[in-house]
Amino acid sequence: MVPTKPNIIFLMTDQQRWDCLGQFNEHIQTPNLDKLAERGITYNQAVCQAPMCVPSRSSMMFGFYPSQLGVRTNHGGLYEEQKLPSEPLPELMRRAGYHTAGFGKTHWNHGLHNPLPPTRGFDVRAVGLARNSGHYEQDAAMMGDLEPDGLQAYHEETKHYGSGEENALGYIGATSQIPMEHHRDGWVAEQCLRYIEDGIDQTKPLFLYLSFLKPHAGFNVPKEFEDLYQLHDIPDIAQPPWMYETDTHLASEDEASSESNYSKRRAVWETLTPEERKRTTLRYWANCSWLDHYFGRVLDGLEQQGILDNALIVFVSDHGEMLGERRYRFSKYCLYDSSVRVPMILSGTYVPEARQGTVDERPAELIDLVPTLSEVAGLPRNPLLPGLDLFDSLQRKGTFCELHSKTASARHSTPGLMWRKKDWKLILYMNGTLNDAVGRVDEFQGELYHLAEDPNEWTNLYTDETHARRREQMTGELLMHLACTWSRGPVFYDSHGFEALDVNG
């Protein structure tokens, strides 16, 4: 029986800035992703729901905001399968009749308290890490088992890059001296290509998930992709007119973490020459080009198998990267655009011809992917989820992102909340931890940026009374957005069931 539902190809990177695509940056070489944009819809106002890996990915996969899931930091996770608030995306696809194959990073974290963590819906699974990494999934092919020498060579090359490969040396990087297939992403890509060649179940529609660990640091880049760029072509990173943050949520974090990774990295970066700093940008872009190369190979393989004749192709990243902005800040962990905006493309033959090659400027969020793909797969809409169908005409007034503690401390900081429109952004935050926050809510502070005139977000207009009306309007929109969202789920009880949510409306 020939499948009639469209195949769904889900391509993902880790920590790729929204503007690190050739269609937005003439310096960057991403020809395969650019081709997807030419044949699809680019959502150029898309944001993540938390600027860090675990809450962002959990939110995207389950369709709820991080604060609804309770997964707010990289130290969180949904550990108990019988208590999941909704079905994760691969399980939804499996239930819709798809053959589900997952290659690469999910970062569920559910292996931390579960000796046999399930694949959560994947029929085929491969992970480019060791079995004891905390990311093993039951019956998954693990790089540490199948290519232990290659994984060891990778760890040896990056052993001085620190936690998450994000210390100063991780961002300075190096020209890699190991074969591409011994990189974790290279191994995962090769596993995916082998599956495409001889593992696809032709009797079912395909849900293929390919998720890489880079361009996230460390920047140990294969030479052939580093050689795509010339140092003299790399532009400087624009820096603000001030030396230190004041009256921002980052200033609050700096005050609370005097020995933060930021202060250590800044101390190194201030000693580097402009050319040395540019090389970090070069290597980050080279990482993007390297992954684009693998996406191209995978898409070519799928095309040869006829999979793309009837397909929806998704490309996203989980969050962005500051890349040295705001006085040498790297990584994410903030609510500024370079961190919270993400690339998002929907492409393939499923996209109506009239919309191919277009840019959609409506507010879009990563949580929109579950309802969108559920609709594509023919599943009923889950009325508890706050996301929207990206192909539908309904749109929200702005986009939401939340930031909680980034430290390893068991005590969470009070959250920072973002409400973003195309031309304006509001950020609300307060100092301290959650344990006594209820008695201090009057201590909140804010940031307001006119993105159309100040895309770098250097001029905080929050206390400027000429913008008081806009500030109050956006504050009210943020409040009501969260109130309406949290009223829906993840738990909802009513004598009329989900009819009270106008599920058929």
Token pair for residue 107? 């970062």
Contact criterion met (CB below 8 Å) for 125 and 142: no
The residue whose two tokens read 């969180």 is: 76
Token pair for residue 51? 């600027």
Average pLDDT across the chain, whole number: 94
pLDDT in tens, 444-473: 999 999 999 999 999 999 999 999 999 999
CA–CA separation, 152 vs 361, rounded Å?
Answer: 44
CA–CA separation, 185 vs 176, rounded Å?
Answer: 13
**Helix and strand counts by DSSP (H, E) for the chain:** 16, 17
Number of Cα atoms under 13 Å in the Cβ half of residue 65: 22
CA–CA separation, 135 vs 411, rounded Å?
Answer: 24
3-state secondary structure of 226: helix
pLDDT in tens, 141-189: 999 999 999 999 999 999 999 999 999 999 999 999 999 999 999 999 9
CA–CA separation, 161 vs 172, rounded Å?
Answer: 9
Residue 503, pLDDT score: 57
More confident of the two residues 469 and 133? 469
Token pair for residue 329? 């800040």
The model's pTM: 0.96
The overall longest dimension of the chain from CA atoms, in Å, is 67
Beta strands in 421-484 (DSSP E): 424-429, 445-450
3-state secondary structure of 352: coil
Query: Residue 7 forms beta bridges with which residues?
Result: 311
pLDDT in tens, 60-117: 999 999 999 999 999 889 998 999 999 999 999 999 999 999 999 999 999 888 888 9
Q: What CATH superfamily classification does 7-389 receive?
A: Alkaline Phosphatase, subunit A (3.40.720.10)
The size of the chain, in residues, is: 505
